[in-house]
C-alpha cells in the first residue's frame, strides 16, 4: 500500500494580502517570495521553494492541502487506492504541475470536502538558503515532518479516519476525551500521523466555520516561541490559546489569530510520534483560553 509521507504544502485564500505579507514575515518570520502572476505570493520556511501559497482575493480559508508520496511508483499506487475507494480524482496537467512546482500531482476532495492533493517531487532549492522575514534565533523545523500540522473540517470524523487510514495510509486514533462543561458530552478529537511528527492532521468532531481551524508550525529554538509571543503581544494580535504543553505531542505552543481570522499555532520541542495509540483527558500545563471565537474555546486543563 502506498502511504503519504508528509504534509508538504498548504494553499490559503486571503482577502487582505498586505496584512498577510506583514503577518507572515514580521510576526511569524517566514520569507515572502513575490512570484506568481500577481494573484498570489509564496511563503518559504526551508529549502523547498515554498511551503505555503497565499492566494489573493480569497475567502480567508484554506484552498488546498498537499500530501507528498515518495516517488512515481507510490504516486501510481495511490491512484489505484483512490480508484478502489471510488474517489473522483483528477490528474493535473503540465500547467498545474508548474504552478505547484512538483513533478506530478493529482487532486480530489477528502470526505469533509477539503481540496486535497497528492504529489511527488517538490522543488528543492538548496542553492537559495532560507532567509527569515525577520530576526530568528533558529529555523523552522520541517524536514521529514513536513510543514507542521493542521485541523481540518470533517462532518463525519469516523468516515474521515477510515479514509485517511485506508486510502492515504496514515495512522491515528482519538487522542483526547475532554468533558464539555455543562453538558454530558465529551470532545474526542482524532489525530493522524504519517511520519515522526506526532500528528500532521487532526479532526475536531465539532462543527467548524472554516475548512481549517489552525496550522501549527514548529521552530528549532525555544526562544523563538517567546520572541514571537512578545511580537504578538506588542502588536496586540489576539492570543486564542495561551502558552502551554499538549499531552500528545508535548510541544510548548501558543495560538494566535491570523489576518484571516483563523489560528496559527507556534511551537517548539515536540516529542516524536509514539506510533501507538494513547488518550488524554487534559493537557500537561497551560493552554488557557484567552481570545474566544476562533473555534478553540475548550479548556484543556485538568
Q: Does 216 bind ligand MBD (CB under 6 A)?
A: yes
Q: Which of residues 265-294 bind ligand MBD (CB under 6 A)?
A: 265
CA distance 205 to 265: 19
CB of 251 to Fe ion, least distance (A): 8
Stretch that binds Fe ion, among 4-12, 63-71, 237-245, 259-267 (CB under 5 A): 259-267
Distance, CA of 6 to CA of 16 (rounded, Å) = 29
Beta partners for 252?
245, 268
CB 195, min distance to ligand MBD, A: 15
| C-beta separation of 170 from 3 below 8 A | yes
| Nearest CB to ligand MBD, comparing residues 228 and 248 | 248
237 vs 228: CA distance, rounded Å:
11
Q: Tell which positions 227-256 bind ligand MBD, by CB under 6 A.
A: 246, 248-249
Q: Return d(Cα 299, Cα 25) in angstroms, integer.
A: 30
Query: C-beta of 145: minimal distance to ligand MBD in Å?
Result: 13
Sites for Fe ion among residues 200-219 (CB under 5 A): 216
Report which of 247, 239, 238, 242 is spatially closest to residue 287, judged by C-alpha positions: 242
Which of ligand MBD, Fe ion, none does 48 bind, CB closer than 5 to 8 A by kind? none
Residue pair 63/115 in contact by the 8 Å Cβ criterion: yes
User: Which residues of this protein are in contact with Fe ion, per CB under 5 A?
Assistant: 216, 265
User: Which residues of this protein are in contact with ligand MBD, per CB under 6 A?
Assistant: 216, 246, 248-249, 265
Amino acid at each position: 500500500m502506498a502511504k503519504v509521507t508528509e504534509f508538504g504544502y498548504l494553499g490559503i485564500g486571503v482577502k487582505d494580502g498586505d496584512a498577510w505579507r506583514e503577518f507572515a514575515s514580521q510576526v511569524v518570520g517566514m520569507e515572502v517570495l513575490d512570484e506568481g502572476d500577481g494573484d498570489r505570493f509564496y511563503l518559504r520556511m526551508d529549502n523547498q521553494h515554498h511551503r505555503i501559497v497565499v492566494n489573493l482575493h480569497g475567502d480567508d480559508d484554506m484552498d488546498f492541502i498537499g500530501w507528498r508520496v515518495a516517488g512515481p511508483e507510490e504516486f501510481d499506487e495511490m491512484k489505484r487506492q483512490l480508484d478502489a475507494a471510488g474517489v473522483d480524482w483528477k490528474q493535473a496537467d503540465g500547467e498545474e504541475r508548474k504552478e505547484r512546482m512538483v513533478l506530478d500531482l493529482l487532486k480530489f476532495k477528502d470526505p469533509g470536502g477539503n481540496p486535497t492533493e497528492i504529489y511527488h517531487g517538490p522543488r528543492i532549492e538548496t542553492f537559495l538558503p532560507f532567509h527569515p522575514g525577520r530576526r530568528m534565533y533558529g529555523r523552522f523545523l520541517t524536514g521529514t515532518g513536513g510543514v507542521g500540522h493542521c485541523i481540518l473540517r470533517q462532518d463525519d470524523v469516523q468516515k474521515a479516519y477510515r479514509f485517511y487510514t485506508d486510502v492515504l495510509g496514515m495512522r491515528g486514533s482519538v487522542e483526547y476525551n475532554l468533558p464539555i462543561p455543562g453538558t454530558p458530552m465529551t470532545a474526542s478529537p482524532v489525530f493522524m500521523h504519517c511520519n515522526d511528527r506526532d500528528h500532521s492532521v487532526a479532526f475536531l468532531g465539532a462543527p467548524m466555520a472554516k475548512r481549517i481551524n489552525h496550522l501549527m508550525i514548529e521552530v528549532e529554538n525555544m526562544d523563538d516561541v517567546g520572541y514571537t509571543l512578545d511580537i504578538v503581544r506588542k502588536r496586540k494580535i489576539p492570543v486564542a490559546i495561551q502558552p502551554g504543553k499538549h499531552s500528545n505531542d508535548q510541544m510548548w505552543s501558543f495560538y494566535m489569530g491570523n489576518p484571516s481570522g483563523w489560528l496559527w499555532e507556534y511551537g517548539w520541542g515536540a516529542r516524536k510520534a509514539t506510533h501507538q495509540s494513547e488518550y488524554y483527558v487534559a493537557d500537561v500545563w497551560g493552554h488557557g483560553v484567552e481570545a474566544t471565537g476562533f473555534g478553540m474555546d475548550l479548556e484543556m486543563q485538568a
